[in-house]
């Protein structure tokens, strides 16, 4: 099947899933709740979206700079603008096809900065792993600081379901699962050895090597660079938190919520962004459910989720498209400058 057709099918499937989620959780909204939603949206202070979107731009810039820090130990130092453009185009592509954006941004830097793509994939995976650690730390912080409020919610929604699944599985099922996993690993090792000189095996080995180097690049950083890497990670997530907190003031009904609620929205909303392309459907639903815990009516939570999601999506669309246009122009001027300076 052609790659383009696969991507189109993926887009249709994920877009359809997002639309289905939205339909499932809007079909039961009553007429009076729709009136509340319309009233909230009509009275919303949309001027406050300007600082939230500005902070969003800063978060993307910090991400680009942090990604550069991972490349330097590998012997490469792309320009910050090219890295930023690549990040934004990656986000744009992810709106359509999940995870394809990661490949796209690596391809852009490889094309314009001549950095080997396999090593870029390694740095990208390392960066995502760091973000996962940050998200887990955020979850712990959110639950610990609001144990009485969120503890029971997380237990009912996640922990209880996991424990029920484990309890239902008998010893034979667990043993079969372990054996299947072990056989899969053995088969993979055998195939790599059997076809060690094939093109596919060489590609896989190079990819694994690149990923390994990407992870090791964190350890190879100078002490000062490691500190800056941590600082930029904190700045990225602080920007995310600030966006949610300022967003509360867009609606009168959520303006009284504080940092505790913003932490919870950031934690749960991030999960929605992961499970669906751009968070479509999932983000709004999870934000809506979370705000109920803080005494916000479903209708208002629905309106707030859509306001924040639309603002973030518009930002990605505008910056992503602008980056696509700017990339060839910027790099043409850069090449001309380097040629005229005798550096190229």
Q: What CA–CA distances, in Å, run from 9 to 15, 16, 19, 105, 187?
A: 10, 10, 15, 21, 30
Q: In terms of Cα–Cα distance, which of 161, 177, 67 is closest to 123?
A: 67
Tens of pLDDT, residues 176-235:
767 777 777 777 677 666 666 666 566 556 556 655 655 566 666 777 888 898 899 999
What single-letter DSSP state applies at residue 97? S
Determine how many CB atoms are found less than 10 A away from the CB of residue 8: 13
Give the pLDDT confidence of 59-109 residue by residue, as tens digits.
Answer: 999 999 999 998 888 788 899 999 999 999 999 888 877 677 888 888 899
Structure tokens at 50: 């300007």
Q: Where in the chain are the domains?
A: 48-158+191-339
For 250-300, the pLDDT digits (tens) are 999 999 998 999 999 998 888 878 777 667 777 888 888 889 889 898 888
Model confidence over 6-16: pLDDT tens digits? 545 554 554 55
């Amino acid at each position: 099947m052609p790659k383009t057709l696969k991507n189109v099918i993926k887009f249709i499937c994920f877009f359809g899933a997002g639309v289905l989620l939205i339909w499932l959780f809007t079909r039961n909204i009553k007429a009076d709740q729709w009136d509340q939603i319309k009233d909230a949206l009509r009275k919303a202070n949309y001027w406050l979206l300007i600082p939230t979107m500005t902070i969003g731009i800063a978060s993307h810039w910090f991400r680009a700079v942090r990604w550069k820090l991972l490349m330097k130990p590998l012997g490469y130092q792309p320009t910050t603008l090219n890295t930023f453009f690549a990040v934004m185009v990656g986000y744009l592509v992810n709106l359509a096809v999940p995870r394809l954006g990661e490949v796209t941004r690596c391809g852009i830097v490889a094309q314009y900065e001549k950095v080997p793509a396999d090593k870029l994939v390694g740095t990208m995976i390392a960066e995502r792993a760091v973000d996962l650690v940050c998200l887990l730390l955020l979850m712990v912080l959110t639950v610990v600081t609001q144990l009485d409020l969120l503890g029971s919610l997380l237990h009912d929604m996640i922990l209880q379901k996991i424990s029920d699944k484990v309890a239902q599985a008998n010893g034979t099922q667990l043993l079969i699962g372990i054996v299947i996993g072990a056989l899969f690993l053995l088969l993979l090792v055998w195939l790599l050895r059997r076809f060690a000189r094939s093109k596919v095996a060489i590609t896989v080995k190079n990819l694994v090597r690149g990923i390994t180097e990407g992870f090791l690049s964190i350890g190879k950083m100078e002490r000062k660079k490691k500190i800056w890497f941590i600082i930029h990670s904190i700045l990225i997530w602080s920007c995310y938190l600030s966006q949610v907190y300022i967003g509360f003031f867009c609606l009168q009904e959520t303006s009284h919520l504080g940092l505790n609620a913003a932490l919870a929205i950031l934690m749960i909303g991030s999960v929605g962004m992961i499970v669906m392309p751009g968070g479509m459907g999932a983000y709004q639903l999870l934000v809506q459910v979370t705000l109920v815990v803080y005494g916000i009516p479903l209708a208002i939570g629905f309106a707030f989720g859509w306001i924040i999601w639309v603002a973030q999506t518009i930002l990605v669309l505008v910056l992503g498209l602008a980056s696509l246009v700017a990339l060839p122009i910027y790099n043409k001027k850069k090449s001309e400058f380097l040629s005229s300076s005798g550096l190229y």
